[in-house]
Each structure stands twice: as structure tokens, then as C-alpha cells.
Amino acid sequence: MTDANLTPTRPYLARAIYEWICDNQLTPYLLVDATQNHVKVPTQHIKDGQIVLNIAPHAVHQFQSSNEAIFFSARFGGVPQEIYVPMSAVLGIYSRENGQGLFFDPKEYENIVNQDDALPEFTQDGTEHSDTTEKSDAPKKKPSLRVLD
């Protein structure tokens, strides 16, 4: 397999460092390039095109990290918001207390992600969302809940 066919290491390393930081009872911070496409973060907290997010388990809900993105919900000024960060926008993950972690080469994804549609977007439950879904003439089924014992 050539280097061009290899998947980026960033998602794997980010998950490993996140776990290491949490296992050591430290606070994981995520450094994000907020200027990239598909990044969904609170714009009022962006400085110089970047934002630092506290991703400690007690600070976020429904935290998920896939090979494509990190997504979760968190409160900013008491207001819940959905956060979506494509892996290409992750610049680093480090501990607040001692600064240990990893910072990534911003150019790692240049040859992989050069199109707006290259990254899938995900819904809150982690399923892929597409804006180009075909409209069907069939009526949509209403959602329902079922209690399991």
C-alpha cells in the first residue's frame, strides 16, 4: 500500500491522546481551525480563526470521535449547542493543566480534503446526514418510541 492510500493518523492519535488525558484526570482541550468548511462551533468564542474547546467528559454530552469528525453537544453561556469538528480542522489536543498532548500538521489533509463535499456531516445520533437526499413520493413514517424491559 502506498502512502497516498493510507488513512490519516490524526483521528487515531487524537482518540489515543484524549483517552490518555482523561485516564490521568486531566482536562482535554481541543484546538480547532474554525475557518475550515463544515466546522460548527460558537462563533463568538473564535479568536484569530481558532477556538479552544474543553472536551472533558463532564463538560460535554454525546461525545463521539470518528475518523471523519468529532461531534458533541455542550453549553456555552448556559445555551446548549451542537459542535461539529471535521478531523481536518483539528489542530491539536492537549491537557489544560500541563500542555502535554499532540499538535498536528495542518497540511496533513490538503490532498485528501479539497472539496466542500469531501466530508460527510453527522446528525446528533452519529448517523451520516446528506443534504442531497432524494425526495420520495412515498409518505414518511412517523417516529415512534418503544419501551424495552
pLDDT digits (tens, 9 = 90+) for 28-59: 999 999 999 999 999 999 999 999 999 999 99
**Whole-angstrom Cα distance, residue 113 to residue 8?**
11
Residue carrying the nine cell digits 469531501: 118
The confidence score (pLDDT) of residue 5 equals 77
Q: How much helix, strand and coil, in percent to the nearest 5, is found in the chain?
A: 15, 30, 50
* Closest to 37 in 3D by CA, of 119, 108, 103, 112: 119
Answer CATH for 7-104 from 2.60.260.20, 2.20.28.10, 2.30.30.220, 3.40.50.720: 2.30.30.220
Per-residue confidence band for 109, with pLDDT thresholds at 50, 70 and 90: confident
Model pLDDT, residue 6: 83
90 and 10 Cβ atoms separated by less than 8 Å:
yes
Domain boundaries, the chain: 7-104
Task: Report the alpha-carbon distance of residue 127 to residue 131 in Å, rounded.
Answer: 13
CA–CA gap between residue 134 and residue 61 (Å, rounded)? 31
Q: What DSSP character marks residue 126? A: S
Give the pLDDT confidence of 125-139 residue by residue, as tens digits. 444 544 444 444 555
Q: Which three cell numbers stand for residue 93?
A: 489536543
Q: What average pLDDT score do residues 108-135 get? A: 52
Q: Which residue has the higher pLDDT, 74 or 124?
A: 74
Mean pLDDT within 64-68: 96
